[in-house]
């Protein structure tokens, strides 16, 4: 899914990992019968090698986070969204930090699509990243300590909206991208609504677009990998 309707970039890490998949599949898998044990073993061996190669911390880019949105759109429940998000990240960004970031993002989008408010979404992040205790019933697979440390200070919506812009990093690092896109999303109020001829709440298209531009502008004013963070927020806004 592209914010422009066409694929304009897949990222260096994604390109490198897919190139390794292609080389390995051509050499070790393509001549085997797909349903044979030899083919299954060959595929599992290739997968293990690539995961080992790209599971280092230096491969924690935002490529899989950039493409994870559709998993939340097709998932029937939160658990499915999380599982699909992780499965989507694994071929190119297998590091647990990347998978955890995709898990969090997909679950938040799924929650938004099922009616959660921004206040509720902010509380869900706190629930996901808090250490389990007697006061929470949330179950989570999020284990990466670096990602948890970055998100744990956000206890409520006010923590996001009061965060100074100079403390938000805009890079290709998956943790920075997740935080920056969520910050831009939470920082701006809900889009203004009007009533349509049937008396139901609606949105004024012009106002909606202006709010989207302002929110994206805050991200795009940051340096480094602003394009990807901005596109990530564009998808956030369009999904509201």
The pLDDT confidence band at residue 12, using thresholds 50, 70 and 90, is: confident
Contact between 32 and 41 (Cβ < 8 Å): no
Highest mean pLDDT among 5-19, 35-49, 129-143, 179-193: 35-49
Q: What is the DSSP letter of 92?
A: T
> Range of 41's domain?
9-53
Residues contacting 192, CB < 8 A, separation 6+: 203, 204, 207, 208, 211
Dist. CA 64–CA 131, nearest whole Å: 26
- CATH code for position 136: 1.10.4080.10
Residue 233 CB coordination number (10 Å): 27
**DSSP H or E segment with residue 202:** strand 201-203
Q: Is residue 232 predicted with pLDDT exceeding 60?
A: no
pLDDT tens digits, one per residue of 121-147: 999 999 988 865 434 444 567 999 999
Q: Is residue 4 predicted with pLDDT exceeding 80?
A: no
Inside any domain, residue 3: no
- Judgement on whether residues 75 and 45 belong to the same structural domain of the protein: no
Q: Is residue 208 predicted with pLDDT exceeding 60?
A: no
Inside any domain, residue 33: yes
- Judgement on whether residues 81 and 159 belong to the same structural domain of the protein: yes
List 194's β-bridge partners, or say none. Answer: 202
pLDDT value, residue 209: 60
How many folded domains does the chain comprise? 2
pLDDT value, residue 233: 47
- Judgement on whether residues 109 and 39 belong to the same structural domain of the protein: no
Inside any domain, residue 190: yes
- Judgement on whether residues 123 and 37 belong to the same structural domain of the protein: no
* Whole-number percent of the chain with pLDDT over 90: 62
- Judgement on whether residues 88 and 164 belong to the same structural domain of the protein: yes
Residue 177 CB coordination number (10 Å): 26
Can you point out the beta strands (E) in 64-174? none
pLDDT value, residue 144: 95
- Judgement on whether residues 32 and 73 belong to the same structural domain of the protein: no
- Judgement on whether residues 109 and 160 belong to the same structural domain of the protein: yes
pLDDT value, residue 189: 65
- Judgement on whether residues 79 and 164 belong to the same structural domain of the protein: yes
pLDDT tens digits, one per residue of 59-103: 999 999 999 999 999 999 999 999 999 999 999 999 999 999 999
- Judgement on whether residues 111 and 153 belong to the same structural domain of the protein: yes
Q: Is residue 240 predicted with pLDDT exceeding 50?
A: no
Phi, psi values for residue 195, rounded to 5°: -105, 130
- Judgement on whether residues 20 and 131 belong to the same structural domain of the protein: no
């Amino acid at each position: 899914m592209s914010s422009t309707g066409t694929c304009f970039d897949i990222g260096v890490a994604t390109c490198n990992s897919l190139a390794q998949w292609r080389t390995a599949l051509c050499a070790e898998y393509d001549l085997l019968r797909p349903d044979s044990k030899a083919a299954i073993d060959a595929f599992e061996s290739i997968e293990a090698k690539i995961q080992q190669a790209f599971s280092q911390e230096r491969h924690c880019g935002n490529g899989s986070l950039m493409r994870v949105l559709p998993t939340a759109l097709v998932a029937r429940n939160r658990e499915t969204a999380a599982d699909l998000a992780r499965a989507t990240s694994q071929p190119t960004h297998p590091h647990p930090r990347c998978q955890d970031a995709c898990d969090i993002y997909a679950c938040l989008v799924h929650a938004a699509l099922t009616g959660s408010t921004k206040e509720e979404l902010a509380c869900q992040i706190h629930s996901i990243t808090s250490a389990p205790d007697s006061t929470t019933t949330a179950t989570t697979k999020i284990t990466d300590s670096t990602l948890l440390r970055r998100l744990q200070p956000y206890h409520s919506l006010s923590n996001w909206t009061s965060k100074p812009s100079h403390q938000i990093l805009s890079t290709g690092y998956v943790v920075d991208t997740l935080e920056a896109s969520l910050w831009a999303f939470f920082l701006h109020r809900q889009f203004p609504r009007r009533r349509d001829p049937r008396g139901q709440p609606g949105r004024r298209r012009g106002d909606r677009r202006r709010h989207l531009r302002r929110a994206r502008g805050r991200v795009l004013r940051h340096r480094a990998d602003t394009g990807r963070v901005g596109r990530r927020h564009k998808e956030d806004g369009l999904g509201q």
